[in-house]
Chains A and B, each alone.
Chain A
Amino acid sequence: EAQVTQNPRYLITVTGKKLTVTCSQNMNHEYMSWYRQDPGLGLRQIYYSMNVEVTDKGDVPEGYKVSRKEKRNFPLILESPSPNQTSLYFCASSTGVSPLHFGNGTRLTVT
């Protein structure tokens, strides 16, 4: 089944403790992206990647890092999480011309 898989689904952590949210797609898509969703603000793009070893900032990149060493994986890294990064995170992928496929989300709480 074609899908975008994020892990974990839920994560509670403390301020400053580095964490990684993984994202993997099995559709051989070139394009991958991370969004965060907050009440009243909708979905906002954090980072995106057009292909392996190519990443670019989205609208809200501060406090996040990403890497794209392999086509199928696009992890989101929070080196020093803060409470304002408490949010619902979505990974998405596409061929670049096809509609985006989204994962089921990761709900992150930073205390």
Chain B
Amino acid sequence: DAKTTQPPSMDCAEGRAANLPCNHSTISGNEYVYWYRQIHSQGPQYIIHGLKNNETNEMASLIITEDRKSSTLILPHATLRDTAVYYCIVTYNTDKLIFGTGTRLQVFP
């Protein structure tokens, strides 16, 4: 599976958009980009995934660059409850997710 690089931490004001970047320059053609988050030692929670096209659901949007070497998770209106560690994972095999250290997002009032 391709390796990902994420900033260790980010801050965001409540109500503003949180844009979390992820680099995956060695991604291969059949690998998806998945995003999960973990709120304070709870079980990781699936957010969104995509292959080539941008994706949007009720939680977030995922923007994948045309060369697929990087992506951005967007939380359009961050709330305090979005404070969590966010993991970007690249894989063709959803059975085996390799979690890195992720980005710790702190949303402040």
Q: Are both chains from one complex?
A: yes
B45 contacts A by Cβ under 8 Å: yes
CB distance from A45 to the nearest CB of B (A): 6
Counting chain A residues whose Cβ lies within 8 A of the other chain, the interface size class is 20 to 34
B41 contacts A by Cβ under 8 Å: yes
CB distance from B32 to the nearest CB of A (A): 10
A13 contacts B by Cβ under 8 Å: no
A101 contacts B by Cβ under 8 Å: yes
A12 contacts B by Cβ under 8 Å: no
- The segment out of B9-17, B20-28, B64-72, B90-98 that lies at the interface is B90-98
Q: Which residue of A lies closest to B85 (CB)?
A: A42
- The segment out of A60-68, A69-77, A88-96 that lies at the interface is A88-96
Number of A-B contacts (CB under 8 A): 49
The one of A45, A99, A102 that contacts B94, using a Cβ cutoff of 8 Å: A99
Counting chain B residues whose Cβ lies within 8 A of the other chain, the interface size class is 10 to 19
Interface of A is mostly: strand
What chain A residues lie within 8 Å of B96 (beta carbons)? 45, 48, 58
List residues of B (58-96) whose CB comes within 8 Å of A's CBs. Answer: 94-96
Verify A99–B49 contact, CB threshold 8 A: yes
Residues of B in contact with A (beta carbons under 8 Å apart): 34, 36, 41-46, 49, 94-97, 99-102
Residues of A in contact with B (beta carbons under 8 Å apart): 4, 31, 33, 35, 40, 42-43, 45, 48, 50, 58, 88, 90, 92, 94, 96-105, 107
